[in-house]
Amino acid sequence: MNTLIPKIIKTEEQYLVYFNEVHSLIIASPKLSTEESDRLELLSILIEDYEKQKYPVEAPDPIDAILFRMAEKGLKQADLVPYFGTRSRVSEILARKRPLTVPMIRALAVGLGISADTLVGLDEVGSSPKKTNVDWSKFPVKEMVARGWIDSITSKAKKTVEEIVQGFIVDMGLQEGGASFRRTLSGDSPTPTTSYALYAWLARVIQRTREIKSQLPAYEKSKVGDGFIKQVVQFSRFEEGPRLAIEFLKQHGIAVVIEPQLKGTMLDGAALKDLDGTPIIALTLRYDRVDNFWFTLVHELVHVWKHIDDTSEAILDDLEHASTDKRESEANRIARDAFIPRSIWKRTDAYLKPSKETIVELAKELNIHPAIVAGRVRKEVGNYNQFSDLIGQGLVRVQLENL
């Protein structure tokens, strides 16, 4: 019997010695004594631990798992529509341009028999812990402190910068387990640098939402639709319309938060849900104009209505630049038509011969603010110098300061 006391394996030679002994115990001994059985168990544990560290098994990729099951079952992309909703969504997900949502993961787990752990990217083998891929030094800490989002570093002598920032991010539900951010940023892809500022901004938005959440009734998605959006649009005819519209949305369980964007980010607004399902519309008011406020608000409201299905995603919008995202195109179209239906726009005098008089006349006819018509003319013509006196510059933020 081998009297060598087993130790943690540190070399390949030691591993081979233990491996050969295990092989001998399994093959050569028809019946193991209690002592041999205990030794076999101990050696097996040591070998398994060494193999996990030396040859870690990577977590299966969710998309690769779906593609493998499709090939195994002879499925085409069209066969996945029942799980994803539309053909375009199937293509976007398989191309890794769009994340899987919780309802999709549940449907795939049941319909195709793929482990839910695999679909969310968890390591089923249980290998060594994943290292964090979040670089906490890239967060705009100084600006976050200056705005009062987090406490001053000097006042928390026992905590590092990383601990303070990570605590803020984790508390707002944007990270779990230290591996990565749990929420996907959709819209125009942020750069590696701006993504940290955007996550910090989102955390602040969620924090602000939780401060007012007790004032919100339960959100009823079934009540939001074309008619609901029309009601919101009608508030635009009033000078205090922005405040009235936000109060109206809050009365229906939709949180609206005003939070200026951080430096270096091109951001007009965002749509997301908190962990409990509370829908959130966040506005930066980076262009403090009446026309920009109304289009951004309704654009984000469309996202809440049609595109935010769960808490794993946040849609961020830079409305100054065109986007190829189909959801953005849909939100743009519905928002435009809610104010000025396309069926009449190109037949109006405001479009054919724009002037202050024709713009005001159309606004009265549609019961909307003249700034919205003027903004539409300016954008389509591409001349942002004209009708500057109609767009309501500086008239929004002042009435929303205390919201």
Nearest to 314 by CA among 201, 207, 150: 201
* CATH T-level fold of 62-119: 434 Repressor (Amino-terminal Domain) (1.10.260)
pLDDT at 296: 97
pLDDT, the chain, mean: 84
- CA–CA distance from 206 to each of 131, 211, 279, 321 (Å)? 26, 9, 10, 25
Closest CA relative to residue 202, chosen from 127, 265, 112: 265
**More confident: 137 or 282:** 282
Task: Report the C-alpha gap between 51 and 45 in whole angstroms.
Answer: 10
Task: Give the mean pLDDT of 28-40.
Answer: 70
Q: By percentage, how much of the chain surpasses pLDDT 70?
A: 85
Write out the residue limits of the CATH 1.10.260 domain(s) in the chain.
Answer: 62-119
Strands 269-273 and 313-317: antiparallel
Give 1 or 253, the one with higher predicted confidence.
Answer: 253
What is the predicted pLDDT for the residue at 60?
62
- Residue 382 CA: distances (Å) to CA of 320, 375, 379, 390: 12, 10, 5, 16
Position 152 scores a pLDDT of 62
Q: Tell me the pairing of strands 279-283 and 269-273.
A: antiparallel
As beta bridge partners, residue 282 has 257, 270
* pLDDT per position as a tens digit, 85-142: 888 888 888 887 778 877 788 778 777 878 776 776 643 333 333 444 678 888 999 8
What integer pLDDT is reported at residue 58 of this predicted model? Answer: 52
Greater model confidence, 182 or 163: 163
Q: How confident is the model at residue 20 (pLDDT cuts 50, 70, 90)?
A: confident
C-alpha to C-alpha distances, 390 to 13, 44, 320, 373, nearest whole angstrom: 81, 78, 19, 9
Residue 190 has pLDDT above 80, yes or no: no
Positive or negative, the CA dihedral 151, 154, 155, 158 is: positive
The whole model's pTM is what? 0.67
Q: How confident is the model at residue 156 (pLDDT cuts 50, 70, 90)?
A: very low
Separation between Cα atoms, residue 374 and residue 41, nearest integer Å: 79
Residue 164 has pLDDT above 90, yes or no: no
Which amino acid, 211? E
> In terms of Cα–Cα distance, which of 153, 274, 254 is closest to 203?
274
Tokens of 119: 């679909």
- Of these ranges, 13-22, 114-123, 295-304, the one predicted with the greatest mean pLDDT is 295-304
